Amino acid sequence: MAQETCLDVRALINGKPLGSFQKLLIGLGFTIIVLDGFDAVIMGFIAPQLKTDWNISHQALGAVLSAGLVGQALGAMLSGPLADRYGRKLIIVASVLLFGTWTLATAFATDVTQMVAFRFLTGLGLGAAIPNTSTLVSEYAPDRARSFLVTVTLSGFTVGAAGGGFISAWMIPAFGWHSLLLLGGVAPVLVGVVLMWKMPESVSFLITQRAPTQRIAAIVEQLAPGATEPGQRYTLGRAPVQERNAIRIVLSPQYRFATAMLWVGYFSVLFLVYLLSSWLPTLIKEGGGYSVSKAAIATAMFQVGGPVGALSIGWAMDRWHKCRILTGVFLIGAVAVAAIGQITQHFLLLCLVAGLVGFCMNGGSVGMNALAAAVYPTEARATGSSWMIGVGRIGAIISAFAGGELLAQGWSLSQVFVVLVAPALLVAAAMFAQGRHADRTKAHAITNARLGDTPSLAGSTE
């Protein structure tokens, strides 16, 4: 009788170059996030024409725009536990079909009430896409490149959002605003069908769920042809987490501190990113005395800095201490935020600093998604990532009201940006505290291992 062999799938992924199977997965993930970015901002592009055609008030338009954000927060919070229970692929495919179908329905809305409802339902799908796609990519990525590959995938959001601007500039005058919604609905539905066929389930998830060996072996064989043998067992190179409830794992004493720091940090950074995205043109125009076009250029530099920062930060996080990199990035971002209010008379310098703020804050927020994927075990990774994003979306929603209140106070531009340093410093402090906590946990685990106890690296980010 042949002796049973055991294959450590994590060690297999870490020990081989990135293969075509993984590259296809990353390409699919990038495509999902491009569509997510396009549909997330689509209402902003059609809003001016919609307001004219329907003769609706600013308040009604605000309800349409905010409904999607509320849906995104709820979709993120709900989807993670479902993905940790039923699988990443099912939830990702469902999310893409959901936001595609309801964007399509929005094209046929006849009044504001219907549009608010449809945008909320669209948001449920949009909220589920980013955390679960980043989770799936992270579970097929080797540790040496995990942060970079997650940030590459999530950079698709900016591609979709920016591409939507160019597409809308052509389609809305030529075919009307309904055409943009039709495109934003049909494309995800078609991609969703492709995902059913081409996207694999997470092999790490299947191992933790004790799926049939044949199903795991079929994926491993695509991942590394020739690596499987008859009667082989598959592991992740560690003892399975005994607790099976993902929510309990995320909130357990082992992960509670890391969860709190991720929530505080992501709330703070999305509050700042969304506030600047929405209000920076107005702040620069009214506080700096610039024209609308120059205010738009400065804001565009803020957006351009994001993907450059995401890729650079992801690359650095794979090589050095993740939390130290993020702490330094957010501290530089805090200084840059404060500087904007002091250099409004120098337009070129203002644009450069706005780009630096985008590099640090937009890029750093994407880096935090990679950090969350590294903190939590497979059994709760989707829940940990999606709940962090859900809490961050709450900060994004609040920022819409906070920006208006800051303008209503009649403060100078320098005073406004001094206030906005606070959330930047808060996220830096959260990352610093998480890094210290992870180092202590790792040192404690090494000590226990030397004494013969089972090591526990809960919350470790290295």
Same domain, yes or no: 162 and 272: no
- Residue 167 is predicted with a pLDDT of 86
Residue 399: give the domain boundaries.
246-450
Q: Is residue 92 part of a domain?
A: yes
262 domain residue, yes or no: yes
Cα-based angle 131, 213, 93 (whole degrees, multiple of 5): 30
Distance CA 143, CA 147 (A): 8
Q: What is the identity of the amino acid at 71? A: G
pLDDT of residue 270: 93
Which amino acid is present at 306?
G
- Report pLDDT for 288: 67
| Contact (Cβ atoms closer than 8 angstroms) between residue 61 and residue 51 | yes
- In order of 302, 311, 333, 408, the CA distances from 276 in angstroms are 9, 21, 13, 16
Domain contains 363: yes
Look up residue 403 and give its two tokens.
Answer: 């920006």
Residues recorded for the chain: 462
Query: For residue range 359-386, what is the model confidence (pLDDT) as tens digits?
Result: 999 999 999 999 998 899 988 999 999 9
* Per-residue pLDDT, 445: 67
d(CA 310, CA 111): 39
**Predicted structure pTM score:** 0.85
- DSSP conformation class of 110: -
Reported as type and span, the H/E element at residue 206 is helix 203-208
Q: Above 80 in pLDDT, residue 32?
A: yes
Query: How confident is the model over 139-156, as a mean pLDDT?
Result: 93
Rg of the chain over Cα atoms, rounded to whole angstroms, equals: 23
Do 308 and 386 sit in the same domain of this protein?
A: yes
In a domain, 314, yes or no: yes
316 pLDDT band (50/70/90 cuts)?
very high
Tokens of 453: 């106890």
Residue 294: CA count within 13 A, CB half-sphere: 16
Angle at 150 between CA 269 and CA 396, to 5 degrees: 25
| Residue 290 near residue 347 (C-beta atoms within 8 A) | yes
Higher pLDDT, 400 or 230: 230
Residues 259, 358, single domain; the answer is: yes
Q: What number is the average pLDDT over the span 158-183?
A: 87
| Residue-level pLDDT at 12 | 93
Question: SS3 for 456?
Answer: coil
pLDDT exceeds cutoff 50 at 14: yes
The neighbour count for residue 374, using CB atoms within 10 Å, is 21
Whether residue 161 is found in the same domain as residue 72: yes
Establish if 311 belongs to a structural domain: yes
CATH code of the domain containing 286: 1.20.1250.20
Q: In angstroms, how far is the first alpha carbon of the chain from the final one?
A: 42
Note whether 26 and 175 are same-domain residues.
Answer: yes
pLDDT in the model for residue 304: 83
Is the domain of 270 the same as that of 211?
Answer: no
- Give the residue carrying structure tokens 């062999």: 5
Tell me, what's the pLDDT at 448? 65
Mean pLDDT of 256-271: 96
Tens digit of pLDDT for each residue in 177-217?
Answer: 899 999 999 999 999 999 999 999 999 999 998 899 999 99
User: What's the domain count of the chain?
Assistant: 2
Answer whether residue 229 is part of any domain: no
Q: Give the whole-angstrom CA distance, residue 138 versus residue 332.
A: 27
- For the record, the structure tokens of 255 come out as 């992960």
Kindly state whether residues 187 and 288 are assigned to the same domain. no
Whether residue 253 is found in the same domain as residue 180: no
State pLDDT tens for residues 278-296.
Answer: 777 777 776 667 776 777 7
176, 199, 218: which is the final residue of a domain? 218
3-state secondary structure of 2: coil
* Mean pLDDT to the nearest integer, 83-112: 95
**Residue whose structure tokens are 């993907």:** 307
β strands within 219-321, DSSP E: 233-235
Hunting for tokens 């610093």 — which residue is that? 432
Q: Are residues 251 and 104 in the same domain?
A: no
d(CA 306, CA 439): 29
From 182, 203, 218, give the residue that closes a domain.
218
pLDDT band for 229, please (50, 70, 90 cuts): confident
- The mean predicted confidence, pLDDT, of the chain is 88
Burial of residue 44, with CB atoms counted within 10 A of its CB: 0-12 exposed, 13-18 middle, 19 or more buried: middle
pLDDT at 408 over 80: no
Please check whether residues 385 and 434 belong to one and the same domain.
Answer: yes
pLDDT above 70 covers what percent of the chain? 94
Largest distance between two CA atoms of the chain: 83
Our measurement of the distance from residue 203's CA atom to the centroid of its chain's CA atoms, rounded to an integer in Å, reads 22
Residues 207 and 251 in one domain: no
- Is the pLDDT at 457 greater than 60? The verdict is no
Of residues 239 and 305, which shows the higher confidence score? 305
With beta carbons less than 8 A apart as the criterion, state whether 180 and 167 touch: yes
- Rounded mean pLDDT, 34-48: 86
Residues 380 and 309 in one domain: yes
